Chain A
Amino acid sequence: MSLTTDRLEMGPVAGSASAHSGTALADPSAPLSGVPYAGLPDPGLPAPRPRIGLATRRSRRDRLAELAAQKTAAGAGWAIVVILAGVLVFLLVQGWPALAAGADDLPAHASDFWTLAGPLAFGSLWASALALSLAAPIAIAVALAITQYAPRRLRTALGGAIDLLAAVPSVVYGLWGLMTVAPLLARVYPWLTAHLGWLPFFAGQPSASGRTILTAAIILALMVVPIMAAVCREVFVRAPASSAEAAYALGATRWETIRLAVLPFARSGIISGAMLGLGRALGETMAVAMVLSPTPFLVTFHLVESSNPNTVAAFIAQTFPEAHGLETSALIALGLILFALTFAVNAAARRVAARAAGK
């Protein structure tokens, strides 16, 4: 059956092709760049070239469009590299002097640059890790709820609501965290130290203001959830229906189907989403700067005490307005540290995601 239809379809196609090149084929003496519609007034456009089968060159317009697309894409690609290099050079040149600076010139009277940078880098990583470990399960659950459990009509609305969370400015999260969440948590923290104080994380004297690293991490988590949930939703939706049917046909329940057919497929996507979220948490400045009540040079894993480590981004934002000379250099060098941290996290994430995808 298919053979005959193929031949039938071939007919008109071949016919139309010869009709295109008709001028040239039918009359070999016709000039190659002739005007085919000699009777019509010349509209002022370049004369169409006669088409001679496959050997026809693409039109000038096509070639220009192709060239433009290629160059624009390549230009955009290179622009990223140039901007990245520019930022790196700026950070290196401006920050370099601070590496050799002493106590008199550095912010917070740090004895040397690394004494300053170390605890801040720790603070950034610790707060982000906390935020991610709070956000990841919620984001995955939210994405599963929307893609697998919610009634069809609710899915779009729920998805939109989550996306809206991502659009809330971080300063709003900061205000809300400072004025509502922190006082609320301040009432919970004593209970945590009393009952979970045997865990080193909850040891010590609970903060009265609630402006601790855990509060900051919770606010960060709220900001990470929408990003991660959006990525997870995309990959969950794309999980092949055939695998889900296979699971159902084996007698899997809804949750077992998700475990067998959806999550394994989505693993690399989940990791990518988590890393995007981690990137956001590492770089987040405003919300942390507003919520957290930091203590200089502190490195601690305690979550609910009134003395807390600060993060790089928040420290830069808090100190920059009054910085001058080498202090400014030191802040820029801190920026370089943050840049390197984020870069390392991204690189690691790529490797993990690639490995998960390859399996």
Chain B
Amino acid sequence: MSELAITGFSASYGSFRAVADVGLTIAARAVTAFIGPSGCGKSTLLRSINRLHETVPGATVSGTVTLGGEDLYGRAVDPVEVRRRVGMVFQRPNPFPGLSIRDNVLAGVKLRRHRLAKAAADNLVEVSLRAANLWDEVKDRLGKSGTSLSGGQQQRLCIARAIAVEPAVLLMDEPCSALDPLSTLAIEDLMASLRQDYTVVIVTHNMQQAARISDATAFFSTDGPRQPGRLIEYGPTTTIFSRPAEQATADYIAGRFG
């Protein structure tokens, strides 16, 4: 349905190839984790799934990414449309400056439908903030600036903003790396519930986190600096963490490099 299939995929920045020849199929309504050492191309691959990679000057891709059978890089496909169906949460919380909590949640929706009845908007704000486990903390100050919240709350606001447009896929690029342990716990709990409705792909440096929250894990690595990242091993998280097939995976998980 909203299954993601990546085949023969490479991504470059100018002449530097960051990801080479990756192929994997990401199941719908599950959490898939991308792990691997820094520079292994996992973030680049993630940013290719919503075509954000190409907003960097000089960036190019080859290969295909399909969502529910539809080629996201097809000739007639508008990248703006792709991004509306594939939401993203970033490493650092990035609510829009000068917008209230409410307007931040509605920002994506307002891009699509300029007229939104107040009752419908109110309802959407509440549903999205509840889904992001933030409603109870902010329901009395929806008019306050989004940047007035704590880091963990801002990140949940960004999740609410991403899911308010009801994407099929939710990409998360190290969503907890700038957060304290309590906020991290809040986001991890949230991901467990998001799995029921969304195809979630998360890049993380935290292997315990990958083990806790993901159903499938893809391990990426490179042969060295300035070498392209490759997919080393991909499978159910329990298998990857208990009986990895590749020595590199076992070494990485055991903390022997990376």
- Give A residues with C-beta under 8 Å from B: 152, 240, 242-243, 245-253, 256, 260-261, 264-265, 267, 359
| Smallest beta-carbon distance B168→chain A, Å | 13
Chain B contacts for A264, CB-based, 8 A: 96-99
Interface size class of B (residues with CB under 8 A): 20 to 34
Decide: A249 and B83 in contact? CB cutoff 8 A: yes
Chain A contacts for B80, CB-based, 8 A: 251-253
A250 to B158, CA, bound (A): 10
Decide: B90 and A250 in contact? CB cutoff 8 A: no
Chain B contacts for A245, CB-based, 8 A: 52, 55, 90, 94
- Give B residues with C-beta under 8 Å from A: 50, 52, 55, 57, 80-84, 87-88, 90, 92, 94-99, 107-108, 111-112, 145, 158, 161-162, 165
Determine which of B92, B111, B112 lies in contact with A242 in the assembled complex, contact meaning CB atoms within 8 Å.
B92
Main secondary structure, interface of A, reads helix
| Smallest beta-carbon distance A151→chain B, Å | 9
Decide: B111 and A250 in contact? CB cutoff 8 A: yes
Decide: B83 and A250 in contact? CB cutoff 8 A: yes
A242 to B81, CA, bound (A): 20
A240 to B107, CA, bound (A): 17
Decide: A251 and B108 in contact? CB cutoff 8 A: yes
A86 to B162, CA, bound (A): 59
Q: Beyond A249-B87, A260-B99, A267-B98: 19 further Cβ-contacts under 8 Å?
A: A152-B57, A240-B97, A242-B90, A242-B92, A242-B94, A243-B96, A245-B90, A246-B161, A248-B83, A249-B83, A249-B90, A250-B161, A251-B165, A252-B111, A260-B107, A261-B96, A264-B97, A264-B98, A359-B145
Decide: A249 and B52 in contact? CB cutoff 8 A: yes
Chain B contacts for A253, CB-based, 8 A: 80
| Smallest beta-carbon distance B255→chain A, Å | 9
Q: A256-B111, A261-B96, A359-B145 are in contact. Are A246 and B90 (CB under 8 A)?
A: yes
Q: A240-B94, A245-B90, A261-B97 are in contact. Are A251 and B161 (CB under 8 A)?
A: no
| Smallest beta-carbon distance B256→chain A, Å | 12
A347 to B92, CA, bound (A): 37
| Smallest beta-carbon distance B191→chain A, Å | 18
